[in-house]
Chain A
């Protein structure tokens, strides 16, 4: 199974609106077919099996307690890039533009 990894910077806004924002930057050469968002894995560690890094993802606009919903947002927005998995690398709080990590 091909395992694909995205570096993720997760940023929680203290005050979230009605929608969060996901920003995806592609770094890989070429294109991959979109995957099923339901199958995109959220990982906290790098997988042992070989993988190709497709790009990076930044998320904001989610309340600190809404982790699972934010993970679904990451799944939904990483699937069009062809991701099988996303590795969470950073997360923290932003209040008035000041990062509290």
Chain B
């Protein structure tokens, strides 16, 4: 580890503030809420992947004792044409957003919500679903991204026309499943391929993958008779949800309070609302609080997975490993509504390398599957994996080490980014050197059917708005008020940055996440932004507290403020007294005198910094392939990552290890199996098959610290880039083990058997 600067609190491993509640079962998650007189809601879902809804008849359901209300899309207020949901939320047109809450006239995927019911008991609500009669006219579904793009594909939305990043001569006249086309272009790829000694072109596919958070979605709402809506839930974006609820339900923002409870995992999937507006409308109709939770099957079938993809990539290289050109065509499934993360894939494939000539085309395509949601470095794993696979193949062809070929082409500070601008300080070379020098890479691979390979990952990270406040207590402790939810350790990371600034301990700061009435606007907990942006806010809060503490000390010592200094260990020094003695007060001592020097100190800040540091990661995977069963076991795994500054190294390591596990799942076991009718055939955990403890080795982490100059403590986001390299590293290791370069993920045992025993 490269320690850039000496800190007292940053870099230590205190016990997290919310830990005890979480190991004793006391922490309150969304589904744990219980309100007086509460009703339970359930959702009626389409059994068809594509169908016109002719009629919904809820009369039998409403006649069942205990059933209090049934709602459909018609219960949403109609907004003026062309109104967006919110300036601060995802840029979804109103109609698409509401149509995903409850289908309007068409069901667009199996599991699409059609109606919702509230009853006095959850079992009664479930019984009522069977009594809601829905008449459908079933349409042929389109389930493959390339088929959805073809001219004769069934069209999902007759009002969806292709948008192009380049201005088109003529607006498209025909509705299309291709929602958008975007492009990254640099230099001239034809010239680049002409200069190459080797040109390699390959096609790749990945299936949809679910984020797989263990806590299903939930939402509880109470619409009071005063018109105030209160929502309790687990989400990554309480403020964005508040604004969206305000917009789609057409009530003023100050009349919506979202109370975030603990969140049981999100990985991007809990940036999107499903249940809360339904619970709100059901509460409005019944006058009672309504709680809704999803089953696991609903989570798989009806909430956002990430895109299934088709990627074609062509790479040109010289015999010494120098890359001359990279061309890629990326088609990403958006699901039933536009908005796939194809941009993440487009950036990811070109980011790590100084390829002079680049052309990447990306397509956002709708089809009859659930609307995709963000999933950890959205779009990047599926987009960057093909680049890694082809570069590893080229390295093998020219007899070059897979790390060396990357070192030869790696981007460094000052290099031009393919999409414009220049890279700031980044750690690609540092990660590659750390990989090369790791005990893992230096170890010898022993045994048959074993292979080792490497891959890189890129993620840009996000800044965006954070509001936060802090107050100093008379005993010298500090309360830190946060509006971004804690999805995996941000409370300690932010408390530690405030403690570092003030020169106190992490334990002396108590961080609390509050509701949307109690702090200013915070954007989502996503984009690896929380430790970065919240840390900036904590630093600014700390500096303001220091300034005010200095003023108080000056008042006590009857001197000028500029004669007082606040040192980093939390001791406030004044000018010598009349006897020539040093005058000083500790943070704690001065805190006890605030009340009589002007009152308590309570400060708040709002920040919106764009000075994020991008993240790069480099991983090494060893696998062993069982030629009889086709099972692939990951036997050793090392992840290096430029983490900027590791605030709480345990949780940085934890983020990396968790991302690696999800990436290995993408490479080997996780998959959406669809039947031709558009029905997901494996909507249970056992059949979807996320990695278990038995599937994984210990995951070695090497934290490379190249501080981000755009942050007072050098913080870069750490949570996302780690999911990117496992796909290429595992696929490459299998290639080294058995000589088969798979192009379609996941690589299941049957695929191995089929490839080995072709005859």
Partners in one complex: no
Chain B interface residues (CB < 8 Å from chain A): none
Chain A interface residues (CB < 8 Å from chain B): none
